[in-house]
Amino acid sequence: MSLPSARTRALLAVTVIGAILAAGALISPSSLLGRLEATAADPALFALVVAGLYLARPLFALPTTPLAVVVGYGFGVALGVPIALLGVVVTVIPVFLAARWIAGAEPQPTAERDPGATSRASSSASAASTPRTSLGPLDTVLEQASDAVDRYYETAGPTRGVVASRLAPIPSDVSTCAAATASGVRLRHLVLGTAIGELPWTVAGVVVGASAATIRTDGLGDLGFALTAACLFAAAVLLAGPAYRLVRTRRGARAGGQMTDR
């Protein structure tokens, strides 16, 4: 079965993202999660409600950390951590598959190459063999963004790149899945990277929820700043090695070019 045209997929992506943002603006996560406290007395009902929230999370752009707080409040730390982490990992899969369909691409081996390798040759060959549908200025912006994302994943590697992006305190679902799809990151790398990168946020959220007398809707509270700083530091440490190797390779290539010119 043939895929819709690139223009159709791009318009569909804009429409879907706009609908998700509108739903997230109209539906307040704080008010939604605050109403769950009454269901916590019934474990079976609470489990069904939590499962429904995780399944609806991609549609309403619900953040993962407040959901982890709710899970911790209802299930405690021992059960809450694996439940919340499983909920995050499972719900990124449909987002990734939808992004792959919109991009009209299957996973490519580019994400599994050595960090020093470049994808410009393969990208040029693909562009030459595949007819492109111009989207005007949007096409230029998307191409530049795609090049930047490709360089990021080639330098960091697929799993490390996903881990660092999930550690960063940014809305990760759409950005991580779309970027991973565009760079040919495979589903197993996305799942593993998401589980590792979301682990500190999940553990912190569950612990805060388990120690609270009522369901908290303000996230991690005082712990948020310290955890954000720690996760940013961890992401920087993860990317420091690949970034150093990239700089060293470029300096070596530049020095080699200067020696050849003499």
Task: Supply the pLDDT for residue 125.
Answer: 42
* 91 found inside a domain: yes
- With b for 16 or more beta-carbon neighbours within 10 A and e for fewer, the 175-211 pattern comes to ebbbbbbbbbbbeebbbbbbbbbbbebbbbbbbbbbe
- Overall domain count for the chain: 1
Whole-angstrom Cα distance, residue 105 to residue 119?
15
In contact, 117 and 154? CB cutoff 8 Å: yes
In a domain, 116, yes or no: yes
Please answer whether residues 173 and 92 qualify as being in contact, where contact means their C-beta atoms are separated by less than 8 angstroms. yes
DSSP 83-140: HHHHHHHHHHHHHHHHHHHHHT----GGGGS-TT---HHHHHHHHHHS-----THHHH
Distance (Å, whole) CA 123 – CA 193: 25
Residue 115's pLDDT is what?
Answer: 44
Task: Mention every residue, 6+ apart, whose C-beta is less than 8 A from residue 4.
Answer: 12, 104
Q: Are residues 79 and 116 in contact, defined by beta-carbon separation less than 8 angstroms? A: no
Q: pLDDT value at position 167?
A: 92
Rounded to whole angstroms, how far apart are CA atoms 57 and 59?
5
Q: Give the CA-trace dihedral at 79, 85, 91, 92, to 10 degrees.
A: -170
The distance of Cα 122 from the centroid of its chain, to the nearest Å, equals 25
* Cβ proximity of 183 and 150 under 8 Å: yes
pLDDT of residue 89: 94
The whole-number pLDDT of residue 93 equals: 92
State residue 162's pLDDT score.
92
Could you give the maximum distance between any two Cα atoms of the chain, in Å?
79
Range(s) of the domain holding residue 257: 6-261
- CA–CA separation, 165 vs 202, rounded Å? 15
Instruction: Count CA within 13 A, CB hemisphere, residue 205.
Output: 26
State residue 112's pLDDT score. Answer: 46
Residue 95, in any domain of the structure: yes
Burial class (CB in 10 A: 0-12, 13-18, 19+), 16: middle
Residue 1 falls inside a structural domain: no
pLDDT in tens, the chain (262 residues): 455 555 555 555 555 555 555 555 555 555 666 667 777 778 888 899 899 889 888 877 788 888 898 899 889 999 999 999 999 999 999 888 888 877 665 555 444 444 444 444 444 444 444 444 455 565 666 577 677 788 888 888 899 999 999 998 876 676 778 788 878 889 999 999 999 999 999 999 999 888 876 666 556 667 778 888 999 999 999 999 888 888 888 777 666 665 555 5
What is the reported pTM?
0.73
Q: What's the burial of 106, exposed, middle or buried (CB within 10 Å: 0-12/13-18/19+)? A: exposed
Q: Are 20 and 60 a contacting pair, CB within 8 Å?
A: yes
